Structure 1
Amino acid sequence: MKPFFFIDYDNTIFSHRTWAVPDSALEALSHLKELGCRVVLASGRPFRYTSLPEEFQGRFLPDCLVSSNGAIIETPEEVLWEKYFDPELQTRLLDYVVEKKYCLMSSADGKWCTSNLERFLELASPRQRKLLPESGEAFQKIYHCQMTSFFLSDTEEAIADVQAHFPELKLLYMGPELGGADIIPAENGKVIGASRILSHYGLTWEHTVAIGDSMNDIDLIRKASCGIAMGNAMKEVQEAADYVTADIDADGLARAIAHALKLAGLLA
């Protein structure tokens, strides 16, 4: 059987150093589709088929999406699963980060919002500052929106504090390069989302490949029959992987895919 791929987006497909997708990555993803391998975009971002990355246009269409760390499961034909934050828990989380003056990020009504714009400007990189979020009334709207996840764009100390205060949540650290942490309900995650995809196709974890770089990928990398960490991945993720490929900006994804295809006997 041909391998079934689950591939992360940020710092696996999309480089946060160059703010671009390497050509080698897009070529490798297209090649997988040509070989008849199924490819799932497994991301912490809330991707939908109506909002895929611009770089994919005309070059690559994933077979399925595991978005918002498993809260959204979608094929081109149908939505298989949607799981939103409990409204009461969402309100408590938002109140807490506002009280603590942490920088929480999310999107509401198509607008990128933050709980603390001053904190955002203090911690963000020059490139991130160009994506200037709104605050105030724009952020207040998030209280009344159905949300699948949040991003705490703050320090490791802030992440640890929110995790300790909300054991019913998972805070998934993105590592020192990207920083911050995805915030999801404890019952969600990429492994659960991937399991729903496999069940949809009547498949098991045998012949699965997972490729990623950060803590929201580590369980998926451990669960897949072939777990691959990027060369730029966090140390814990590399230690959990069966294979460590090159850095994202050194054709790391293309090399990871070539390794998996070689193991499957699809590449000499």
Structure 2
Amino acid sequence: MKPIFFIDYDNTIFSHQTWQIPESTLCALEQLQKDGYKLVIASGRAFRNNSLPEEFQGRITPDCLVSANGAIVEIEGKLVKEKYFDKDLQRRILDYVVEKNYCLLSGQGNDWCTSSIERFKEIASPKQQQLLPKSGDAYKALYEKQIPSMFLADTKEAIADVQEHFPETKLLCMGDELGGADMIPKENGKVKGAKCVMDYYHASWDDIIAIGDSMNDIELIQAAGFGIAMGNAMDEVQEAADYVAKHIDQNGFADAVSKAREEIAKR
């Protein structure tokens, strides 16, 4: 079978420097689909088929989604997996970040809320502040919602503290450029979500091409038959990859796809 491409979103497809998807990236994605490759968007965001990036509209429809770091999996438009935080654990996390005045973000689609809007304004970049998260009652409503993943938009010290306090979770750092960390139940992860897709298509790890940039990608990049780190990826991710592409804003994704095609041609 043709390899399946598992592709991260933030700082792999979507640049946090320009706050857009490079045209060369969109063209590379379109061409992969035209050539018959399966595309899987494997993101920390809780994407659904009805909440895909605006730039995709009319151009790209992913074959599958591995969203919220593997907690939500959709295959060919059908939901096949949902795995959320345990309710008691979720409540304790939401309480703790308020007590410590950490900036926790959570949401689905384009709606975000935060534990501390003041803290968010302190540490978020001007572009990140375009998220315009809500607080107060919107944050309190999270206690009753099913949450697949959260984002701790705070310092390395805060991330380390929360990880130590909640060993039943994994905090996956996004690197200095983006900052913060995805927070997921320990049993979740993109590899777990990828397995659902692989089972559906009867694929093995040798059939997988993985492209990403941060710590929520590293396990998938290591497991894949060919793993690619973006040039803007964290050092640990680059070291784990089979190939390091150019920076996202230097046509890095197109470079990653070109290298992947070279490797496929050798098989």
TM-score, normalization by structure 2: 0.97
Relative distance call for 1:76 and 1:109 in structure 2 (3 A) is closer
Q: Distance in 1 between matches of 2:99 and 2:183?
A: 17
In structure 1, the residue matched to 2:133 is 133
Question: Moved runs in structure 1, 4+ residues, more than 6 A?
Answer: none
**Residue 99 of structure 2 aligns with which residue?**
99
* 2:19 aligned counterpart, secondary structure: coil
Q: Could you tell me whether the CA contact under 8 Å between 2:72 and 2:82 is conserved in 1?
A: yes
Residue 126 of structure 1: CA displacement? 1.1
User: 2: distance between equivalents of 1:156 and 1:257?
Assistant: 32
SS in structure 2 opposite 1:222? helix
8 Å CA contact 2:24, 2:254 repeated in 1: yes
Equivalent residues of 1:49, 1:76 under 8 A apart: no
2:64/2:77 contact within 8 Å kept = no
Cα offset, 1:129, TM superposition? 1.9
Q: Give the % identical residues.
A: 61
**TM-score, normalisation: structure 1:** 0.97
Where in structure 2 are there 5+ consecutive unaligned residues? none
Amino acid at match of 1:186: K
- For 1:263 and 1:76, how far apart are their aligned partners in 2? 26
- 1:127-176 Cα offsets, whole Å, 9 max, x none, are 22232211111100001101101000000000000000011000000000
**Once the 2 structures are TM-superposed, how far is the Cα of residue 216 of structure 1 from its aligned partner?**
0.1
For 1:79 and 1:108, the matched residues in 2 are separated by: 16
1:107 to partner: Cα distance: 1.8
**Counterpart-to-counterpart distance in 2, 1:85 and 1:46:** 13
Q: Give the aligned residue type for 1:222.
A: Q
Match in the other structure for 1:232: 232
Mapping of residues 1-268 of structure 1, within 5 Å: 1-107=1-107, 111-265=111-265
CA RMSD of aligned residues (A): 1.2
The CA deviation string for residues 49-74 of structure 1, in whole angstroms up to 9 with x for no partner, is 00000000111111100000000000
Distance 2:111 2:18 in 1: 24
TM-superposed deviation, 1:2: 1.8
Q: Contact 1:108–1:139 at 8 Å: present in 2 too?
A: no
Whichever residue aligns with residue 56 of structure 1, its letter is F
CA–CA distance in 2 between the matches of 1:196 and 1:131?
31
Q: Would the aligned equivalents of 2:213 and 2:234 in 1 still touch at CA under 8 Å?
A: yes
Distance in 2 separating the partners of 1:57 and 1:38: 18
Query: Any stretches of 5+ residues in structure 1 without a counterpart?
Result: none
How far apart are residue 207 of structure 1 and its match? 2.2
Q: Over residues 9-59 of structure 1, what are the superposed CA-to-partner deviations in whole Å (9 max), with x where a residue is unaligned?
A: 000000000000001101101111111111100000000000000000111
Q: Cα deviations across residues 79-129 of structure 1 (Å, max 9, x unaligned)?
A: 110001110000011111111110000127974210011100000111222
Task: Tell me the distance in 2 between the aligned counterparts of 1:108 and 1:248.
Answer: 25
Q: Residues 161 and 183 from structure 1, CA distance in 2 versus in 1: closer, same or farther, beyond 3 angstroms?
A: same
Amino acid of the residue matched to residue 239 of structure 1?
E
Contact 2:70–2:193 (Cα < 8 Å) also in 1: yes
Deviations along 1:164-223, whole A, 9 cap, x unmatched? 001100000000000010000000000110011100111111121000000000000000
Report the alpha carbon displacement of residue 232 of structure 1 after superposing the two structures with TM. Answer: 0.2
1:130 & 1:233 partners in 2: Cα distance?
A: 23
